[in-house]
């Protein structure tokens, strides 16, 4: 029986963001499951739309025996602290040593990685983790890892792993499917008895997050071509568009392929993806976005969705800036459509506590949001005003949309507040608004809205776009630059910083 060692390390690092990912970030269990180790990992993550769940299901189908180690995930932020990374890596190494020393031994290793995690002491922390695993298991044992579509794939990662495979959708609705692909690569590697041929090419520019959605062109067509090439040539290929806010030398998109025809397929993908003009994007100033949304909402039968992309907690923001809230109030959106305009999720534990203390129906004076430092100066100040408490919740919510379906998040005391006709979903934990269930948790139902502002860049599209009349993207001040060229890079080569 094949014995497969499994472990996970998930973090997307915006090195320009204000908050570090310390050990507590991996153990809180708010946006991601709290740190798991051993059999509990399999029991907790089975059935959730994440890569390791796809591997777990595939292993059962193949009759493989799983040897679970640790799985650690934290919401995107600034650097992973040295302490957090070393705890995660040490646990994996300890479990590897024990598994290798057991009479049954091991046949292969699978790692559920993000690919854009930067630690305080290791710019390429996934490459570092893969190297430590390789050193422990030796050169002959298969190591396969799955990656996020936003991975910044390094030469070290490609060298240390036998094979890598990434998501092919953004929003990431294929995470468990990517785990299935990883299991197929493990099976191919075990049958072949050696590494497959591999070829990789790095793109010479950064792709903005808002231009990466596979719900739109060019990404949609490019991934369709990738799948067709793999089907034609028997390869397993990936295109990581990269996370364009990690300040290290190898931050960039990458295409690669595994199989006999890997070189031809990877070169064809490079030629298709490396045309820079196709990656341009449209962004609106906050007041322009609100004005346009108000005009569109007049005759629409579904809400207009505005993405507050630069405060996306899925990309290193803290989900606490007030720029879009100021714009909604200044433009009179809540007065024009009372009770039919909403914003979320606003990370504001103090406001949530005050709402719980006051109770439903109470009116309280609050300062909503936080002024934070950004790459372009401080964000907007808090919005002060009289708020009515419309609903309260404990912050526990099971996601029902395509992204991370079935995962239960725990965001602590939460509330729906109304200020000047605008409903604000405030929470005590950080979570990207990628699922309408997160609003329903505090009594906000999108089918009753004319305008909804989501703190997200693209993941919201999976659950919100099918139920929206229009989608707009706003560039309000926040820690996640919609245009990577705006960031004060120090380690990234100047040739990569240029706009596509």
Q: In sequence order, what DSSP letters do the residues of 358-421 get, joined into one string?
A: H-TT-EEEEEES---EEBTEE-PPPEEEEEEEEEEE-SEEE--SSTTTT-EEE--SEEEEEETT
pTM of the model: 0.93
Instruction: Give the pLDDT of residue 500.
Output: 79
The helix/strand/coil state of 149 is coil
Any idea what the Cα angle at residue 217 is, between residues 278 and 460, rounded to 5°?
A: 120
Q: What is the largest CA-CA distance in the chain?
A: 71
Instruction: Give the pLDDT of residue 31.
Output: 83
The helix/strand/coil state of 354 is helix
Contact present, 327 and 286 (Cβ < 8 Å): yes
Instruction: Give the pLDDT of residue 282.
Output: 87
Low-confidence ranges of the chain (pLDDT < 50): none
Exposure string for 155-180, b = 16+ CB within 10 A, e = fewer: eebbebbbbbbbbbbbbbbbbbbbbb
Token pair recorded at residue 31: 């946006």
Contact present, 370 and 318 (Cβ < 8 Å): yes
The helix/strand/coil state of 109 is strand
Instruction: Give the pLDDT of residue 138.
Output: 98
**CATH T-level fold of 3-279:** Rossmann fold (3.40.50)
- Sign of torsion over alpha carbons 408, 411, 412, 416: negative
Instruction: Give the pLDDT of residue 273.
Output: 98
Within 10 angstroms of residue 474's Cβ, the number of other Cβ atoms is: 25
Instruction: Give the pLDDT of residue 253.
Output: 98
Instruction: Give the pLDDT of residue 497.
Output: 80
Token pair recorded at residue 393: 């919740």
Going by C-beta distance under 8 Å and a sequence separation of 6 or more, which residues neighbour residue 261? 233, 234, 235
Within 10 angstroms of residue 103's Cβ, the number of other Cβ atoms is: 4
Instruction: Give the pLDDT of residue 99.
Output: 98
Within 10 angstroms of residue 117's Cβ, the number of other Cβ atoms is: 31
Exposure string for 255-287, b = 16+ CB within 10 A, e = fewer: bbbbbebbbebbebbbebbbeeebbebebbebb
Hey, which residues does 364 pair with through a beta bridge?
387
437: phi then psi, degrees, rounded to nearest 5: -60, -30
Q: Pick from 401, 209, 376: which is nearest to 307 by CA? A: 209
Going by C-beta distance under 8 Å and a sequence separation of 6 or more, which residues neighbour residue 140? none
**Burial of residue 218 (number of CB atoms within 10 Å: 0-12, 13-18, 19+):** middle
Q: Pick from 252, 291, 426, 453: which is nearest to 346 by CA? A: 426
Instruction: Give the pLDDT of residue 498.
Output: 74
* Residue linked to tokens 């100033």: 285
Distance CA 10, CA 21 (A): 11
Q: Where are the alpha helices (DSSP H) in 139-283?
A: 155-160, 175-192, 219-233, 262-273
Token pair recorded at residue 75: 């919401």
Distance CA 122, CA 82 (A): 8
Distance CA 324, CA 321 (A): 8
Q: Pick from 24, 60, 77: which is nearest to 317 by CA? A: 77
* CA quadruple 292, 294, 295, 297: dihedral, nearest 10: 120
Q: Which residue ranges does the chain devote to CATH 3.40.50.2300?
A: 3-279
Distance CA 182, CA 165 (A): 6
């Amino acid at each position: 029986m094949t014995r497969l060692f499994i472990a996970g390390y998930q973090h997307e690092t915006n090195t320009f963001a204000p908050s570090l990912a310390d050990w507590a970030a991996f153990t809180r269990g708010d946006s991601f499951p709290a740190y798991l180790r051993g059999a509990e990992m399999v029991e907790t993550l089975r059935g959730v739309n994440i890569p390791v769940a796809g591997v777990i299901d595939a292993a059962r189908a193949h009759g493989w025996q799983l040897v679970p180690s640790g799985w650690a995930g934290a919401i995107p932020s600034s650097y992973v602290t040295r302490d957090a990374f070393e705890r995660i890596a040490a646990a994996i190494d300890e479990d590897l040593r024990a598994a290798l020393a057991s009479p049954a031994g091991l046949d292969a290793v699978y790692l559920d990685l993000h690919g854009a995690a930067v630690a305080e002491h290791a710019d390429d922390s996934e490459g570092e983790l893969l190297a430590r695993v390789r050193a422990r298991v030796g050169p002959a044992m298969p190591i396969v890892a799955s990656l996020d579509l936003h991975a910044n794939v390094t030469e070290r990662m490609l060298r240390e792993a036998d094979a890598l495979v990434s998501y092919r959708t953004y929003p990431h609705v294929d995470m468990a499917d990517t785990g299935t692909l990883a299991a197929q690569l493990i099976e191919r590697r075990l049958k072949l008895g050696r590494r497959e041929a591999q070829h990789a090419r790095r793109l010479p520019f950064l792709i903005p997050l808002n231009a990466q959605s596979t719900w739109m062109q060019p990404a949609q067509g490019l991934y369709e071509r990738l799948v067709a090439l793999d089907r034609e040539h028997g390869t397993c290929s990936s295109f990581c568009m990269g996370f364009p806010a990690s300040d290290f030398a190898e931050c960039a998109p990458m295409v690669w392929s595994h199989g006999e025809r890997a070189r031809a397929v990877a070169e064809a993908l490079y030629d298709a993806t490396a045309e820079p003009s196709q990656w341009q994007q449209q962004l609106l100033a906050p007041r322009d976005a609100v004005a346009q949304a108000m005009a569109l909402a007049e005759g629409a039968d579904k809400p207009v969705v505005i993405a507050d992309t630069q405060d996306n907690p899925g990309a290193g923001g803290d989900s606490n800036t007030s720029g879009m809230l100021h714009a909604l109030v200044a433009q009179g959106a809540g007065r024009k459509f009372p009770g039919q305009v909403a914003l979320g999720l606003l990370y504001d534990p103090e406001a949530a506590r005050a709402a719980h203390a006051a109770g439903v129906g109470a009116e309280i004076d609050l300062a909503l949001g936080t002024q934070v430092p950004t790459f372009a100066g401080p964000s907007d100040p808090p919005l002060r005003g009289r708020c009515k408490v419309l609903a309260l919740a404990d912050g526990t919510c099971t996601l029902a949309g395509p992204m991370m379906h079935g995962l239960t998040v725990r965001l602590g005391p939460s509330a729906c507040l109304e200020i000047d006709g605008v409903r604000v979903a405030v929470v005590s934990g950080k979570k990207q608004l990628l699922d309408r269930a997160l609003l329903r948790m505090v009594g906000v139902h999108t089918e009753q809205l004319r305008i909804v502002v989501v703190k997200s860049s693209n993941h919201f599209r999976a659950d919100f776009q099918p139920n929206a009349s229009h989608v707009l993207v706003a560039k309000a001040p926040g820690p996640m630059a919609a245009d990577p060229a705006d960031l004060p890079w120090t380690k990234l080569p100047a040739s990569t910083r240029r706009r596509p």
